[in-house]
Amino acid sequence: MARRCQVTGKGVMSGNNVSHAKNRTRRRFLPNLQTTSLVSEVLGVSVRMRLTTNGIRTIEHRGGLDGYLAGAPDSALDAELRGLKHRIIKAQAAAQAA
């Protein structure tokens, strides 16, 4: 499973450990990934995703999972979120038609 946030796209970065004697050894900076369950109000299901804490805050700021996906362009979403967005749009259209 890739160490990449599904919302922000943050991934592993590399750099150096630098000792007091200025010796440099390579290291990895890992993103703060959390496995979270977010609830889609329209679909009535919870979706498990691996997000950074910054990604979780972004979703909450934009009004939850449905609000975030409604405002995000398809090109900015990964394949799983794109499919979820289209399911939400279909459910909203069906609810308005009924």
The predicted-structure confidence for 47-62, as pLDDT tens digits, reads as follows: 999 999 999 999 999 9
Structural domain boundaries in the chain: 13-97
Highest-confidence segment of 49-53, 78-82, 94-98? 49-53
Rounded-to-integer distance, Cα 35 and Cα 9, Å: 15
Judge whether residue 1 has pLDDT over 90. no
Residue 98 is predicted with a pLDDT of: 77
Secondary structure (H, E, C), the chain: CCCCCCCCCCCCEEEEEECCCCCEEEEEECCCEEEEEEEECCCCEEEEEEEEHHHHHHHHHCCHHHHHHHHCCHHHCCHHHHHHHHHHHHHHHHHHHC
Confidence (pTM): 0.85
The CATH number assigned to the domain with range 13-97 reads 2.30.170.40
